[in-house]
Structure 1
């Protein structure tokens, strides 16, 4: 069955993960460390982040975590810091982070919309930054459903966001494909009974994603050809 709806992850899928969050995260770490080099190093190590290169390691806990989960990793290195306050600071900074598109997004989504596909976005980021990023990219009206980890549907790898998205789009789970760059995305797709499509614009390499995916694409720009290939097989 050719998918009737596509559900996208955000970071590492719509937007290149390292190019978007690499240097931005260095600024966050240094700001929270308040000039303490040793503290900055300990935070970076806990987050699986290389301060020198400004890049996340493939097994970084940040790759698929919620803001709250990332804050929990940082808090042991920030004595006296309030969790809710830290999460609020992170979300406010994230909403302003310049996003580097994995591919030119508007032309791609014009092609996907023209196919009559339902389109949704589910992210482990908070909903407000996610909507801010979509707005800057000109994609506010593209998605029929947008959910973050704080939207009330749970977070990936649980299936709640995906199942809620399918219902909102009027599609059965089996009619949907989830596209993401992490194992959390692929596991969520399996749990929801959807196709799992991986892209390589996040830190996870092909050999990690491939055993859990129905297809692995270099980036979401390969989706039209992938959809065409399914029609050919049918």
Structure 2
């Protein structure tokens, strides 16, 4: 029986393209006024500004701030890594996240089932908490971890196992819900069930081999949980 759910954030709670395209535009504009350099930086992170879309291999999809900065820094001689990450995180904290579904009603319904709920993101913890607060979700989460929270980053299972330690759940009682292979690989390594959603960049063909089920979005979770009980 599923007693807990731990969610990825970007591409899972929030539609990835509609949320992070605006972030990328803002970050690149703040880094440099040079249009040619912005174009090279965008290409380096696999971002198409005209379409506001990301290549499936973009480090923005599942990477941490240091990983994204590492890709950008070769184009920015003299730019301090800490300064670049601080700028990226400041923009992220105020980024306008676009919900994949109506979030508050969904999470209230999940809590009404007695489920314990966590968040595990490769974003920094401070922006993650800011995004939950902006959408009136903070009180519905029992656990929040970013890559900088002391548990590591996905695809390693540290964040997921920390959720289990904090809540007392066995990993077999938990489902990891995410939009990327990083999420699903972390779930497998933690010994959890794995639910893939298609509100990120990856398609069903990429995710299905690594998931127990593929849903269009997290709005399908209640029906999936009901099917498991009926079975």
- Normalising by the smaller structure, the TM-score range is over 0.9
- Residue in 2 that maps onto 1:24: 23
- Residue in 1 that maps onto 2:70: 72
- Residue in 2 that maps onto 1:223: 221
Distance 2:87 2:21 in 1: 18
- Residue in 1 that maps onto 2:107: 109
> Structure 1 residue 175 and structure 2 residue 164: aligned?
no
Distance 2:25 2:88 in 1: 13
- Residue in 2 that maps onto 1:195: 193
- Residue in 1 that maps onto 2:153: 155
> Structure 1 residue 141 and structure 2 residue 134: aligned?
no
When the two chains are superposed, the root-mean-square deviation of aligned CA atoms in Å is: 0.8
- Residue in 2 that maps onto 1:53: 51
Structure 1 contact 119–169 (Cα < 8 Å) conserved: no
Structure 1 position 29, deviation (Å): 1.4
* 4+ aligned runs moved over 4 Å, structure 1: none
Answer with 3-12 or 56-65: which moved more. 56-65
- Residue in 1 that maps onto 2:10: 11
With normalisation by structure 2, the TM-score equals 0.98
- Residue in 1 that maps onto 2:92: 94
Long gaps (5+) in structure 2? none
- Residue in 2 that maps onto 1:83: 81
Distance 1:131 1:142 in 2: 12
Question: The residue matched to 1:63 in structure 2 has which SS?
Answer: helix
Structure 1 contact 58–205 (Cα < 8 Å) conserved: no
| Number of positions where the alignment pairs a residue of Structure 1 with one of Structure 2 | 231
Distance 2:88 2:172 in 1: 35
Long gaps (5+) in structure 1? none
Deviations 1:112-157 (A, max 9, x none): 0000001000100000000000001101111111000000000000
Question: The residue matched to 1:14 in structure 2 has which SS?
Answer: coil
Deviations 1:55-74 (A, max 9, x none): 11222121000111111111
Structure 1 contact 178–185 (Cα < 8 Å) conserved: yes
Question: The residue matched to 1:119 in structure 2 has which SS?
Answer: strand
Question: The residue matched to 1:201 in structure 2 has which SS?
Answer: coil
Distance 1:14 1:93 in 2: 19
Distance 1:28 1:88 in 2: 11
Structure 1 position 87, deviation (Å): 0.6
> Structure 1 residue 214 and structure 2 residue 212: aligned?
yes
